[in-house]
């Protein structure tokens, strides 16, 4: 098993230690370049005045607005401290040491941490090389009696790939009853593909799915640690039993409720992303740099430099990107789509670095 760990990228403070106290373009963690919604900030500021009071025990008000948004009931929704906790709750509740789950690399390193932490065997069924499509035959063949989850990240991190409903439906139809699809959809707001699957519809038809969401991406609230899951009512109820009472703090709760209510801000975020994506794709084409279609707020690109060398060289130009540290894509880096100024700074830095290779 290859082991892309979940050490994440450099913090801003670490980056500044390396290159000094200058303006740094942080395009390494898929955060919202527009910040949080002003309505979120206002709601959190108001909530801060009452933090002498305990928050609601069970995030019921947040679950209600999320349920309305997704067309489910609050019984189908559970919350967590970020998408990562939502994922971890699923592993805690539904696996025993020795169980198995399947991931499709290149993928998100946190799942490897779950395997280690919960004593699970992890089977890798790589995405099809170069297209990054799902290898459905490979996934089905890899399933054993011990398999609990198939993890489908859609759009996928770090490739940005959208797996269409046709693939998702086929996968569901070929998995045995004892396997649940962990549908990690933390980037779903950015998906432009008209064939993006409606996993809630599949869930409502009885498919075994736990859908994972985050407030860290389109809602711009990574620092607050809020996430949620959608599952069948019995599964969601089991997940809620795992939560400590008062598990989301009052400021996070109010901020998240305001974020869900600010559709205009999400729209702005998605629009900024679409504009930035088109710009980056055009510029990468101009520079002759290979890149992959993306339905997320980042894109994967490949140069002649190793992932580590390009990541380091860009940092010296004050641009932070992510080295996926995956031996299957040794010359690829993942760059978050930023503001127009951030995107331009990234392209200028990349162009400068690539020019030195031609000398
Ligand atoms: C695919 C994927 N899932 C889950 C998460 C977890 O996000 P968070 O814990 O910030 O909500 C991330 C974060 O980058 C991610 O990329």
Residue with tokens 């089991």, as numbered in its chain: 238
- Cα separation, 44 vs 251, whole angstroms: 5
pLDDT at 7: 64
| Domain span including residue 107 | 38-262
Tens digits of per-residue pLDDT, 129-174?
Answer: 999 999 999 999 999 999 999 999 999 999 999 999 999 999 999 9
113 membership: H or E segment, kind and range: helix 110-117
Place 1 in a pLDDT band, splitting at 50, 70 and 90: very low
Q: What is the mean pLDDT of residues 223-234?
A: 98
Query: Does residue 190 surpass a pLDDT of 60?
Result: yes
| % of the chain with per-residue pLDDT over 70 | 97
Based on the fold, state whether residues 209 and 329 are members of the same structural domain.
no
286: which 2 tokens? 């101009």
Is residue 336 within 6 Å of ligand 1 at its C-beta?
Answer: no
Task: Give the pLDDT confidence score for residue 16 in this predicted structure.
Answer: 87
Measured between alpha carbons, how far is 290 from 180 in angstroms, rounded to an integer? 35
Report the C-alpha gap between 207 and 333 in whole angstroms: 35
Residue 98 pLDDT greater than 50, yes or no: yes
How many separate domains does the chain show?
2
Instruction: Work out the average pLDDT over 17-36.
Output: 93
Based on the fold, state whether residues 103 and 156 are members of the same structural domain: yes
Per-residue buried b or exposed e for 221-238, using 16+ beta carbons within 10 Å of the residue's own CB: bbebbbbbbbbbeebbeb
Residues 219 and 291 in one domain: no
Query: Ligand 1, closest atom to CA 214?
Result: 11
Q: Is residue 2, in this structure, part of any structural domain at all?
A: no
Backbone angles phi, psi at 134, to 5 degrees: -70, 140
Question: Which of 27, 30, 83 is the pocket-test mutation for ligand 1 (most atoms within 8 Å of CB)?
Answer: 83
Q: What is the CATH number of the domain that holds 354?
A: 3.90.1150.10
Cα dist. 232→133, 203, 209, 211, 239 in Å?
Answer: 28, 7, 8, 10, 11
* pLDDT value, residue 15: 87
Least Cα distance to 26 among 5, 14, 12 occurs for 12
Q: Which atom of ligand 1 is nearest to the CA of 156?
A: 1
Name the strand (E) or helix (H) holding 64: helix 60-70
What band does 57 get if pLDDT is binned at 50, 70 and 90?
confident
Of the candidate ranges 1-5, 8-12, 77-81, the one whose mean pLDDT is the lowest = 1-5
- Mean pLDDT over all residues of the chain? 96
Q: Does 80 contact ligand 1 (Cβ within 6 A)?
A: no
Ligand 1 center from residue 352 Cα (angstroms): 31
Asked if residue 66 is part of any domain, the answer here is: yes
Residue 207 Cα to ligand 1 midpoint, Å, equals 23
Q: How far apart are CA 326 and CA 329, in angstroms?
A: 6
Last residue of a domain, one of 262, 284, 304: 262
SS3 state of residue 292:
coil
Domain assignment present for residue 6? The answer is no
Instruction: Report the pLDDT value the prediction gives residue 38, as an integer from 0 to 100.
Output: 98
Report pLDDT for 3: 56
CA 294, CA 187: separation in Å to the nearest integer? 11
What's the rounded mean pLDDT across residues 106-135? 97
What is the pLDDT averaged over residues 173-196? Answer: 98
Question: What average pLDDT does the segment 210-217 reach?
Answer: 98
189, pLDDT greater than 90: yes
Identify whether residues 330 and 250 lie together within a single domain: no
Q: List CB contacts of 34: < 8 A, sequence separation 6 or more.
A: 220, 265, 268, 269, 272, 339
Which pLDDT belongs to residue 5? 54
User: Using a 6 Å cutoff on CB, does residue 82 contact ligand 1?
Assistant: yes
Residue showing tokens 């962990």: 182
Same domain, 75 and 140: yes
pLDDT for 17 equals 85
- pLDDT, tens digit, for every residue of 255-296? 999 999 999 999 999 999 999 999 999 999 999 999 999 999
User: Are residues 199 and 90 part of one domain?
Assistant: yes
Backbone angles phi, psi at 191, to 5 degrees: -70, 125
Give yes or no: residues 98 and 220 share one domain: yes
In contact, 43 and 257? CB cutoff 8 Å: yes
Distance CA 303, CA 313 (A): 12
The single-letter DSSP state of residue 70 is H
Ligand 1 centre distance from Cα of residue 83 (Å): 5
DSSP structure string for 121-187: EEEE-PPPTTT----HHHHHHH--TTEEEEEEESS-TTT-PPPPHHHHHHHHHHS-TT-EEEEE-TT
């Amino acid at each position: 098993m290859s082991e892309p760990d979940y050490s994440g990228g450099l913090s801003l403070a670490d980056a500044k230690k390396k290159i000094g106290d200058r303006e740094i373009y942080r395009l390494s963690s898929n955060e919202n370049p527009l910040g949080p919604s002003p309505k979120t900030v206002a709601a959190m500021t108001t909530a801060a005045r009452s933090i002498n009071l305990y928050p609601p025990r069970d995030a019921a008000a947040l679950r209600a607005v999320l349920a309305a948004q997704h067309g489910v009931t609050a019984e189908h929704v559970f919350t967590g401290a970020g998408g990562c906790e939502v994922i971890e709750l699923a592993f805690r509740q539904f696996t025993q040491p020795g169980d198995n789950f399947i991931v499709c690399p290149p993928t998100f390193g946190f799942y490897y941490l779950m395997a280690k932490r919960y004593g699970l065997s992890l089977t890798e069924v790589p995405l099809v090389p170069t297209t990054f499509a799902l290898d459905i035959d490979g996934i089905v063949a890899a399933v054993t009696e011990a398999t609990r989850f198939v993890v489908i990240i859609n759009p996928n991190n770090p490739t940005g790939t959208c797996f269409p409903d046709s693939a998702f439906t086929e996968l569901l139809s070929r998995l045995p009853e004892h396997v649940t699809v962990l549908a990690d959809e933390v980037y779903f707001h950015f998906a432009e593909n008209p064939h993006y699957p409606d996993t809630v519809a599949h869930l409502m038809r009885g498919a075994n799915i736990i859908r994972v969401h985050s407030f860290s991406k389109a809602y711009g609230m990574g620092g607050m640690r809020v996430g949620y899951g959608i599952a069948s009512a019995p599964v969601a109820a089991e997940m809620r039993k795992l939560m400590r009472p008062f598990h989301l703090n009052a400021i996070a709760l109010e901020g998240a409720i305001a974020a869900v209510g600010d559709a205009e801000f999400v729209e702005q975020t998605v629009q900024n992303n679409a504009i930035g994506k088109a710009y980056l794709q055009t510029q990468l084409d101009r520079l002759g740099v290979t890149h992959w279609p993306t339905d997320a707020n980042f894109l994967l690109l490949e140069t002649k430099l190793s992932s580590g060398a390009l990541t380091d060289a860009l940092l010296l130009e004050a641009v932070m990107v992510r080295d996926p540290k995956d031996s299957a894509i040794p010359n690829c880096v993942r760059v978050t789509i930023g503001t127009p100024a951030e995107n331009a700074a990234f392209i200028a830095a990349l162009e400068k670095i690539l020019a030195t290779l031609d000398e």
